[in-house]
Structure 1
Amino acid sequence: MLKGQYEIRMIWLMVLIIAGVGMWYADFQQFSYLCGLAFVISVMHYVDDLQKPADQMAIEQGISAQLTSKVPLYISSIIALVGGVGQMHWLTALGLSAWIFFFLRWLKRLERHLLAIQRQMQQHPIAAVDTEKKHSFVQEPNVMLTTSDVTPTTTASEISLNEQLKLWLFQGNPVLKVAIAVLVVGVVLLLRFATEHWQLSLAFKLIVVAVISLAIVIFGYVMQHKNRGFALALEGLGLATLFLTLFFAYYNQVIPNLFIASGCFIAILVPTIWLSLKQQSIELALMAMLIAYVAPFTLPVRNATATEFIAYYLLINLAVVVLSTLRPWKALNQIAFLTTVFVGGSYAFYYGDELEKFVLSGLVFAHTAVFIWLSFRFSQLLAKSDLTRFQLKPIMDIALIFGAPIAGYIFLYLMYFDQNIYQASFSCAFAMVYLGLYQLSKRNQAVAMISQSYFSLMLIFMALIPPILLAEQWSVAGWAIEGAFIFIYALYRQSTISRYVGMGLLLMAGLSGGYYFTVLNVFPSNVYWVLCISYFAMVIISNSIPQFQQQLTNSTIAFQCMQMLSATVMLFILLLEQMGGQSQVMMCLLVVTVFYNLSNEWLLRCNATWSWLLPKWIGLIPVYCLALYMVIDLSHNGMMVWHHLSDRILFALSGVLLTLLWLRPLLGVKAEREWVSLGVFVSLALTSLTLVPSMPYLSAVILPLLFGAWCYKQAEHSDWPIFWQTRNTLALMLMWIISSQILSSHAFEMYFLPIVNPFDMVSLAMLMSFIWMLNLQMKAGLDKSMGAILMVLGLLWLSSYVVLRALHVYFATPYNEWQMWGNATIQLSFTLLWVSLAFITMSVATKRKLRALWVLGASILVLVTLKLVLFDLSQIGTLTRVISFFGAGFIMLMIAYIAPMPETQSNSIDQN
């Protein structure tokens, strides 16, 4: 198992512990009990995952696999949960004690099993080595690149940012690097303490720190021939301290003005650059630059203005320009760009003032020019080093080619958001700059590829101008139409860059539309119709042609999923506005569903596959949200109250069409059966709610039961039973089994006789479906112990409620009240019912020699025995107590005589 999976499991267990303890002290004990149940089941599942590979290795070594039944563990967990919910602490303690005992016994058996495997492997070392290699390959298929895989000829220009950071942080002498980090923090704390508390002159204190720092730099430079790593660390520490000292001096007004401070800063940057270049050390440059970027946040006195902060970052980036002009250090460029955009941009956005707008605009242009030069210069240096390899590999990181100008333009666009002329002028200026760069670079064969990037950027900025010049909210329509057109044209021309340009324009259209709707509270329906149609058209057209489908990458499909989600929401809002509000919700629901079905049929004719299915499924989320909202809105006193017959018919038609959307095509059933089955059963349940509105719990499962009966009759090689092998189906079934019996307020309608009434018949049909589904799931990999426990509990739960309703009708006993646990008639009936079910189950198991089925019956007897001890012995009357014990004991005697445990173990319950 991969290390990340272990970490995720430990995090999950810690979350359960924290949530359980927190809810306990917040007086939500029931939630704490559920967390405890989830904890013990998770632990059992994790240990089971450890046992499976051990059993596989044992079989390969000729040792029989370990057989451990987890039924006692599940029963103990349920006993503890029941005791906790019922406030019977002694029962909780009993369940926990039993669970701990059986769990420790399981671990002990697993330990012995592993020792046996180890002894067998020591006796046959060759086979053991082969088995170990095999399992290590199976469990760790992904090999991570480490710095040892980097050849000595690998340069900083060929190492990605992630690899460079790993190399710098985790290789070499980690103790030394941790020590340097601790010392830097100590310097910051020392400077802050000196600023606030020391009685000496602040100027004198800072001069002392600066002199010591300079001495450390000199000492490190002298030691470079003896121990290069240690020397570079000392130099980095000294330079970092000099940067920090300068900042404390300026912001405490020891240095009176910005010009003197800038001169001192340049005086520190120059030796930093010289030392980095002379010693060929990107580590020294990274250390110094990172400290320089972080330095403003260490100040104890005041925050820098946005102009000061961005200007300061410009000085650092100029130092990066000098370094990268002479050395192709890609990681340094990337860190500079990311820090400037995210840290500098966030700071300017938070602290910026309207009065600083013009100065900040100039600084944004300056930063953009810096990174444009960095990208161009890096490509030149890389091309000179190896022209052939340069042409075969990507020439630049996309962040430096496209990210820098686009990020700069976005900042300017937001600063002049309501001034279209300025925005168009910026677009034109950027386009002219890249046109000039394209003309200069296209003649140089070494940078021919980057010249095409410049040409693409020029087209991008030219494409921004027309939508910007449109009046007010009509720019949203301009972005949408242009984006959809460019995206489809890019698919036709097979241009990756243009495809991303179209996606960017469509994203811009969506964000602008959201701004007008949420912030300005403006809803121009014509504009939103254009945006909605553009989103739908882009997805449908791109999936209609096989040549287009082949170009849809994972990121493109993910973007289209978000488009379908947004377009569906807009379509609902627009239809509601067009049709007259809430009274036409059902018609809007049907229209949207019909549109999806028509689109689905068309795209299936065009052989669309996953590139259409995922956006379709995501786009259906608002449809189901609206349908569920309508169900809740129409529910009154436990009934569905339809205002008009037409609404009921429209809702049923929508549910049928939604079911067809999930069933066509069926190729998604095997690969994504969890979500397909969830969509099918939710759609069937929504449709089925229209059949018997007075009994919604009964009505909701009629069509799913008919669908289950139809799947049961299909051949085994068909795909239809797969719907019932999913965890979602199991969860939905359990929700109905529990909630219907407790919450249904119309379970006694048309009650004629026990079982001969609608609710009992549907409940028993659900029980049969539940048992059949669990058999399928155990064949598909569900833990057999958990499947057996669920079968027993489902059988007892539903059959007990059938008896409980009969007793309520004929003997007026409590129903769904706590008093029923002290009612003698109910407890006697439960005892006789459960022990009879155990007798029938164990008799059938003995005749058919089904050992696992016999164990199920025995589990029911265990529960009967617990009930006799916990309830019948102390909480019911004398006569009924006697009858309970005599009846249970007599039937147990019959079981012992007629249905002993089968001797063979060849068959199991899933073969029944």
Structure 2
Amino acid sequence: MFKGQNEIRMMWLMVLMIVGIGAWFLNVHALAYLCGIALIVSVIQYVDAIEKPTQSMAQQGQVKLTHTSRIPLYIASIVAVVGGFLHLSGMMALGITLWVFFFLRWLRRLENNLNTLQSKLKHSTQMPLDSHPDLQQTTNLSSQAVGHTTESSSNEIGLQQQIQQWLFTGNPVLKVAILILVIGVILLLRFATEHWQLSLAFKLTIVAGVSALVTILGYLLILKNRSFALALEGLGLAGLFLTLFFAYYNHVIPSLFGAGLCFIVIMAITLYLSLKQQAIELALMAMLIAYIAPFTLPVRDATAVELVTYYLVINIAVAILSTLRPWKILNQIAFLATTVIGGMYAIIHGYVHERNMMTILVIAHTAIFVWLSFRFSQLIAKSDIEQFKLKPALDIALIFSAPIVGYIFIYLMYFHETTWQAGMSLGFAVVYAGLYQLAKKNQSIGLISQSYFSLMLIFLALIPPILLPDQWSVMGWAIEGALIYLIALYRASVISRYLAMGLLIVAGLSSLYYLVDSTEFPTMMFWVLSLSYLTVVLGANAIRRFREQLSFISILFLSMLMLSACIMLIFLLLDYFSGATQFVHTLMIVAVVYFVLNECMIRSRATWSWLLPKWFALVPLLVFALCIVLESSQNGVIVWHSAFERIEFLLACLLMTGAWLRPMLGVRAEKEWVSLGTLFSLALASLALIPQMPFISVVILPLIFCAWSYKQTTSADWQIFWQTRSTLLLMMLWIICSQLFSQQAFQGYLLPILNPFDVVSLAVLAGFIWVLTLQMKHGLDKGIVAVLMVLSLLWLSSYIVLRALHVYWGTPYNDLALWDNAVVQLSLTLLWVSLAFVTMSLASRRKLRPMWILGGSILAVVTLKLVLFDLSHVGTIMRVLSFLGAGGIMLIIAYIAPMPESDQHLISKSNET
């Protein structure tokens, strides 16, 4: 597996390099830059995937390895990207050169670490196995596990495993060769049909003769090389099938009767050879070619009736084979091919005037698959009853799928004719009642008899909603589905629960039809549908015994019900209310409803089965609240119609925040989504505090929550909440967008820092740094943390200075002209050097080496700025002062703030003393 992953990674890197270089030469520079960024990230992750296991193995083996920081790589990447976007070729070349240098150094050190670890492992493996009891025990357990896996895999093989076994075991080269030859035959037939000057009948006769000879040759070689012989027989039969189709559709065989007779003969030969040689491979190859043969024709498409009739003949052959041999894979492939290929083709190419004939064909196909499931159950029960009882899932699925899919096609064809729908449902119920009585007499297939009984009840349950008119049928589906679902949970019936799920899905899909078809909004229908969905979700989570029956698929289904119910409630309430406040009233009511439901579920001690549906329901509420804010925004200010509307919006968003946070189990189970939803809800609620300054208002409540979480040192849950990437992304989004797009940055401006916008910016910076340090303790890469700290500090502090310069000096603000302004550049240089001075001095006094490196990173940025920007305008006095000021402060730093010694160096010193 790892080898395959490495090959995929190398292919990905090669594709990025090829696309990037090609885009650069084609002057598609944006794509080239994106490929370059993706290449850098992919290479770092690729090497990191090698480095982390190496360090883990070294820690287990107590081997000391050399650690290499990735901060220079990140800095070089940023320099190259910035240079590319600013069209500064020198800066981009410098960044690329530095990146390649530091990356090669990283690889060299990684190679040294691998060599060290390899030599250590060689030394340890020379010790006898008896001296490692843990290793010996692990070996024994591994052997037992392998034996158990082999045994279990031999006893239970599903459809996917059967296909994989047939494709990849034995002689795969032979199978690939056969596949290529089949494609070659198809291309040969198409070419012969269109280009050869001989008569078409003569050409097809030659191909058919060669195919027959290949089949005979394979039959003669069956005793010498079975697999090769079966491959030849399959190839020859495939050629005969394809030639027959080309002959009929090019009118070489003019009558359908003659073509059908030839097809029956070829199919009979296939059946004979498969049964006589006990060769499922031959039957499988012939059936697959037969299913796809109509789509190889170059002349015309078959009608829906023709294709479905043709598939009926193939399925009859499959039924004959399966009646005599328990070859389950043929049943499964026949059902999938008929349903997917034949069903989709009939939907696309079918016409109303073909409905009666299509109904007969659907009933015939359904009867074949009902017989296949019944006969296969008999055969498998006679041969190995215990083995059948261990793995009935696919067989039961086929038993249920065949009649239900057949009935769905009939239901769609007679969508507006309830008499036909109810009559067919009753007919299916009668058939399965008879099969139940027949199967009940055979004790060896008792499970199958119960399946037939369940199918009888399913088709009987479909009749009452069908007989209801129009929209009432949707309400009938929904109410019946909700009742059956709750009864199924009470009686612990999995089949009944799946029936209820199908009824609820049918109700939802039918409601969409009536929504489009009706001239008025169907209020009553959607009220019943949404309440039915809520009843199912709440009932499934109200009792512990019910929750224990829910699988992941069931929980996901309940989540989709909850999502649909929330969306329907929003639209229903919007239809009920009117006026300017209808949006906020709707948001408030739905938020209250879900908050109350959440509290009830907490009292019922519902856990994961409730959390996921609750989160799905809160997502459309958040989107709806965001739409309200965007609708109320005018010229960068949020305009509310009244104070009551603003307070109502605030309370609704706070209720959503409480629903996200309660219970705290959600934070521990899925911290990313919970933290994203909570902070987003808090930010929306915070927008109602100071609507005249939205960029300041949006972070007030999140900052208060952050400060409160910082003080909760005894609770680990709140630290888990802030250890998420979504938290970092939201804070980074505010740090960038607030400085670039805020239109109220100068409101209430008194002095630098002593103004609302600067105070909030520094508070967000403090929270961002705390979140970074918290995440660094729990696995976030230290290099990324250092880069983010430096960039956020420089970004926000620079904007504080830029605002002060704009107020007092009239310099440009958020304009490209500031890069050519000498006052701005001098101020930024002195600011960054001063920050580096403070950081490195404090780090030197307190012996904090990582903090000192952080300050050194700021000095590196200053140096790049001096070389790339200030040096180009060296003639101005401000640029001269930039160099002199920066150099002077660097001298002071070098004197009073040397780099603290590393911990390993201090330990070695203490050992020497």
For the superposition of Structure 1 and Structure 2, which TM-score range results when normalised by the shorter chain? over 0.9
Query: Is 1:23–1:32's contact at 8 Å kept on the other side of the alignment?
Result: yes
- 3-state SS of the aligned residue for 1:901? coil
User: Displacement of 1:115 after TM fit?
Assistant: 2.0
Q: Distance in 1 between matches of 2:374 and 2:774?
A: 62
Q: 1:521 to 1:311 in 2, by over 3 A?
A: farther
Q: Look up the match of 1:713.
A: 711
- 3-state SS of the aligned residue for 2:222? helix
User: Displacement of 1:213 after TM fit?
Assistant: 1.4
Query: Is 1:147–1:171's contact at 8 Å kept on the other side of the alignment?
Result: no
Q: Look up the match of 1:215.
A: 213
User: Displacement of 1:60 after TM fit?
Assistant: 3.8
Q: Distance in 2 between matches of 1:199 and 1:370?
A: 44
Q: Distance in 2 between matches of 1:633 and 1:16?
A: 42
Q: Distance in 1 between matches of 2:785 and 2:12?
A: 23
User: Displacement of 1:148 after TM fit?
Assistant: 13
Note the 1:355-754 alignment, pairs <5 A.
Answer: 355-394=353-392, 397-518=395-516, 523-580=521-578, 583-754=581-752
Q: Look up the match of 2:93.
A: 93
Q: What residue identity is the alignment partner of 1:75?
A: I
- 3-state SS of the aligned residue for 2:869? helix
User: Displacement of 1:745 after TM fit?
Assistant: 1.1
Note the 1:109-128 alignment, pairs <5 A.
Answer: 109-126=109-126
Q: Distance in 1 between matches of 2:393 and 2:767?
A: 60
Q: Distance in 2 between matches of 1:861 and 1:128?
A: 55
Residues 448-484 of structure 1, C-alpha deviations (whole Å, 9 max, x = no match): 1101000000000011111111111211101000000
User: Displacement of 1:125 after TM fit?
Assistant: 2.5
User: Displacement of 1:89 after TM fit?
Assistant: 1.4
Q: 1:369 to 1:608 in 2, by over 3 A?
A: same
Q: Distance in 2 between matches of 1:673 and 1:131?
A: 44
Is 1:883 matched with 2:881?
Answer: yes
Q: 1:501 to 1:863 in 2, by over 3 A?
A: same
Q: What residue identity is the alignment partner of 2:107?
A: L
Query: Is 1:823–1:876's contact at 8 Å kept on the other side of the alignment?
Result: no
Q: Distance in 2 between matches of 1:37 and 1:371?
A: 54
User: Displacement of 1:65 after TM fit?
Assistant: 2.1
Is 1:227 matched with 2:242?
Answer: no
User: Displacement of 1:81 after TM fit?
Assistant: 1.5
User: Displacement of 1:770 after TM fit?
Assistant: 1.1
Query: Is 1:424–1:469's contact at 8 Å kept on the other side of the alignment?
Result: yes
Q: Distance in 2 between matches of 1:880 and 1:44?
A: 40
Residues 514-547 of structure 1, C-alpha deviations (whole Å, 9 max, x = no match): 1121355653111111001000111011100111
User: Displacement of 1:116 after TM fit?
Assistant: 2.3
Q: 1:442 to 1:242 in 2, by over 3 A?
A: same
Q: 1:510 to 1:7 in 2, by over 3 A?
A: farther
Unaligned runs of 5+ in 1: none
Residues 237-296 of structure 1, C-alpha deviations (whole Å, 9 max, x = no match): 111111111111111111121111111111111111111111111111100100011110
- 3-state SS of the aligned residue for 2:254? coil
Is 1:278 matched with 2:276?
Answer: yes
- Count of residue pairs the alignment pairs up: 902
Q: Distance in 1 between matches of 2:902 and 2:425?
A: 82
Is 1:766 matched with 2:764?
Answer: yes
TM-score (norm 1): 0.95
Q: What residue identity is the alignment partner of 1:110?
A: L
Q: 1:630 to 1:717 in 2, by over 3 A?
A: closer
Q: Distance in 2 between matches of 1:339 and 1:434?
A: 24
Q: What residue identity is the alignment partner of 1:58?
A: A
Q: Look up the match of 2:793.
A: 795
Residues 63-93 of structure 1, C-alpha deviations (whole Å, 9 max, x = no match): 3122111111111111112111211112111
Q: Distance in 1 between matches of 2:250 and 2:335?
A: 29
- 3-state SS of the aligned residue for 2:722? helix
Note the 1:54-93 alignment, pairs <5 A.
Answer: 54-93=54-93
Query: Is 2:158–2:394's contact at 8 Å kept on the other side of the alignment?
Result: no
Q: Distance in 2 between matches of 1:679 and 1:17?
A: 38
Q: Look up the match of 1:197.
A: 195
Residues 572-601 of structure 1, C-alpha deviations (whole Å, 9 max, x = no match): 111011112664100000000000001001
Note the 1:124-139 alignment, pairs <5 A.
Answer: 124-126=124-126
Residues 632-691 of structure 1, C-alpha deviations (whole Å, 9 max, x = no match): 111111111112222211110111101100111001112211111101110110011111
Point out the more displaced range, 437-446 or 710-719: 710-719
Q: Look up the match of 1:837.
A: 835
Q: Distance in 2 between matches of 1:253 and 1:517?
A: 49
Q: 1:132 to 1:34 in 2, by over 3 A?
A: farther
User: Displacement of 1:131 after TM fit?
Assistant: 14
Q: What residue identity is the alignment partner of 2:552?
A: N
Is 1:33 matched with 2:33?
Answer: yes
Query: Is 2:396–2:451's contact at 8 Å kept on the other side of the alignment?
Result: no
User: Displacement of 1:36 after TM fit?
Assistant: 2.9
TM-score (norm 2): 0.95
- 3-state SS of the aligned residue for 1:719? helix
Query: Is 1:16–1:39's contact at 8 Å kept on the other side of the alignment?
Result: yes
Residues 406-449 of structure 1, C-alpha deviations (whole Å, 9 max, x = no match): 00000101111111111111101101100111111111101111
Q: Distance in 2 between matches of 1:718 and 1:288?
A: 63
Residues 90-130 of structure 1, C-alpha deviations (whole Å, 9 max, x = no match): 21111111111111111122122212222333333246999
Query: Is 1:73–1:99's contact at 8 Å kept on the other side of the alignment?
Result: yes
Instruction: List structure 1 runs of 4+ shifted beyond 6 angstroms.
Output: 14-28, 127-135, 145-153
User: Displacement of 1:159 after TM fit?
Assistant: 3.1
Q: 1:521 to 1:226 in 2, by over 3 A?
A: farther
Q: Look up the match of 1:240.
A: 238
Query: Is 2:822–2:876's contact at 8 Å kept on the other side of the alignment?
Result: no
Q: 1:899 to 1:89 in 2, by over 3 A?
A: same
Q: What residue identity is the alignment partner of 2:207?
A: V
Q: 1:526 to 1:8 in 2, by over 3 A?
A: farther
Q: 1:126 to 1:558 in 2, by over 3 A?
A: farther
User: Displacement of 1:716 after TM fit?
Assistant: 4.4
User: Displacement of 1:2 after TM fit?
Assistant: 4.6
Q: Distance in 1 between matches of 2:758 and 2:512?
A: 51
Identity %: 59
Unaligned runs of 5+ in 2: 907-913
Q: Look up the match of 2:910.
A: none
Q: 2:890 aligns with which of 886, 892, 895?
A: 892
Q: 1:433 to 1:654 in 2, by over 3 A?
A: same
Query: Is 1:217–1:235's contact at 8 Å kept on the other side of the alignment?
Result: yes
Q: Distance in 2 between matches of 1:273 and 1:777?
A: 66
Q: Distance in 2 between matches of 1:82 and 1:119?
A: 43
Q: Distance in 2 between matches of 1:893 and 1:194?
A: 86
Q: What residue identity is the alignment partner of 1:387?
A: I
Query: Is 1:121–1:128's contact at 8 Å kept on the other side of the alignment?
Result: no
User: Displacement of 1:179 after TM fit?
Assistant: 1.1
Residues 476-522 of structure 1, C-alpha deviations (whole Å, 9 max, x = no match): 10100000000000000000000000000000000000112135565
